[in-house]
Amino acid sequence: MILSSNPEMKIFTGNAHPSLASDICGYLGVELGNAKVSSFPDGETFVKIDDNIRGRDVFIIQPTCPPTNQNLMELLIMVDAARRASAARITAVIPFFGYARQDRKDQPRVPITAKLVANLLVAAGVNRVLTMDLHAQQLQGFFDIPVDHLHALPVMVEHIRQLDIPDLIVVSPDVGGVKMASAYATALGTRLAIVVKQRKSATETEASHIIGEVEGKNVLIVDDLTETAGTITSAARMLRKNGARDIYAGISHTILTDLAVERLKGSELKELISTNSVPARLSIGDRVTSLSVAGLLGEGIRRIHDDESVSSLFEVKPKS
């Protein structure tokens, strides 16, 4: 879509994560747009945008975290409202993209819900998507519109470097996360190890063996998402049995269930480092650190608005 010369930026949010939207607006030095997002007594979502957005460059910030269906419907209805109000362009800013794990047919007669959600967003009127650390990068191909895929790595690596952890090695908690873990290892100037796991059920996994040497090392387990914390706590136990010293976890999105909180409280982890891509779970002790991605997302929004490169945000200089 071709925009008029430098249209005004307008940013709105639903009820999923208003504090993150406020922080992003603070970074950009703009006011959060006025929109009413509420529910009728029967549960239907109602949206009314109170600002004039005709010809504006509109950004709607809404992670589709739990309650996933409610937050997704709010986003779709807000997009429809903006489209019908003649916005010049609508960018859906989805810090956490729900349904991303349903990206293929791994059983007979099951849906590919990630593709369905992509279709719904486009049908509603989204012109562009800005998201962060998709569960599978190929999800970008589900869209027929531009997708800017950011990574929490620069924010995470900056914090980890400040911790100045000696003898650090990066660990992938499963084979599927090797590419992500390799990027962290390169940025931190260290080596990589892999925990091989077996999934017993939707909520339980078991680490079976380790590829690489972790004895006497401090380790950083990196992953894009944890919901029940089964993978990282099982990996931490295996790493401890194999002689690892302090064990850290760097997770982009922490969608913590009650089961996850209990597992983390009794885990071998010294610190869980995550981001505020979704609202923080109530306190689970002082071993949890939440890093703000408001600056990262805000810079992505600014560059999209100004038609500048977004890919340079991925760049992290390797540790010298």
Task: List the domain boundaries for the chain.
Answer: 9-151+295-314, 153-291
Task: Please indicate whether residue 38 or residue 261 has the higher confidence score (pLDDT).
Answer: 38
Of 134, 53, 153, 42, nearest to 94 by C-alpha is 134
- pTM of the entire structure? 0.92
> So what's the pLDDT on residue 115?
95
CA-CA-CA-CA torsion sign (165, 168, 174, 180): positive
Q: How confident is residue 311, by pLDDT bands cut at 50, 70 and 90?
A: confident
Answer yes or no: is pLDDT of 320 > 60. no
> So what's the pLDDT on residue 202?
59
Same CATH fold assignment for domains 9-151+295-314 and 153-291: yes
> So what's the pLDDT on residue 207?
60
Answer yes or no: is pLDDT of 4 > 60. no
Answer yes or no: is pLDDT of 5 > 80. no
Of the residues 36, 105, 115, 197, only one is catalytic, namely: 197
By percentage, how much of the chain surpasses pLDDT 70? 91
Q: How confident is residue 209, by pLDDT bands cut at 50, 70 and 90?
A: confident
Answer yes or no: is pLDDT of 165 > 70. yes
> So what's the pLDDT on residue 257?
87
Q: In this structure, what is the dihedral angle of CA atoms 63, 64, 65, 66, given to the nearest 10 degrees? A: 140
Looking at residues 280-308, what average pLDDT do you find? 88
> So what's the pLDDT on residue 75?
98
> So what's the pLDDT on residue 220?
98
> So what's the pLDDT on residue 236?
93
Looking at residues 133-138, what average pLDDT do you find? 87
52 φ/ψ angles, rounded to the nearest 5 degrees: -75, 120
pLDDT tens string 231-255: 899 899 999 999 999 999 999 999 9
Q: How confident is residue 135, by pLDDT bands cut at 50, 70 and 90?
A: confident
Q: How confident is residue 155, by pLDDT bands cut at 50, 70 and 90?
A: very high
Q: In this structure, what is the dihedral angle of CA atoms 29, 35, 41, 43, given to the nearest 10 degrees? A: -70
> So what's the pLDDT on residue 138?
83
d(CA 261, CA 266): 9
> So what's the pLDDT on residue 197?
67
Looking at residues 215-243, what average pLDDT do you find? 93
Domain 153-291 classification at class level: alpha beta
221 φ/ψ angles, rounded to the nearest 5 degrees: -85, 125
Looking at residues 58-85, what average pLDDT do you find? 97
d(CA 172, CA 133): 15
> Rounded mean pLDDT of the chain?
91
Looking at residues 147-155, what average pLDDT do you find? 95
Q: How confident is residue 64, by pLDDT bands cut at 50, 70 and 90?
A: very high
Answer yes or no: is pLDDT of 169 > 90. yes
By percentage, how much of the chain surpasses pLDDT 90? 74
What would the CATH number be for the domain defined by 9-151+295-314?
A: 3.40.50.2020
Helix (H, G, I), strand (E, B), or coil: what is residue 241? helix
Does 265 qualify as catalytic in the annotation?
no
Answer yes or no: is pLDDT of 128 > 90. yes
Point out which residues pair with 219 in neighbouring strands: 169, 247
> So what's the pLDDT on residue 258?
87
Q: How confident is residue 201, by pLDDT bands cut at 50, 70 and 90?
A: low
Whether the Cβ atoms of residue 167 and residue 248 lie closer than 8 Å to each other: no
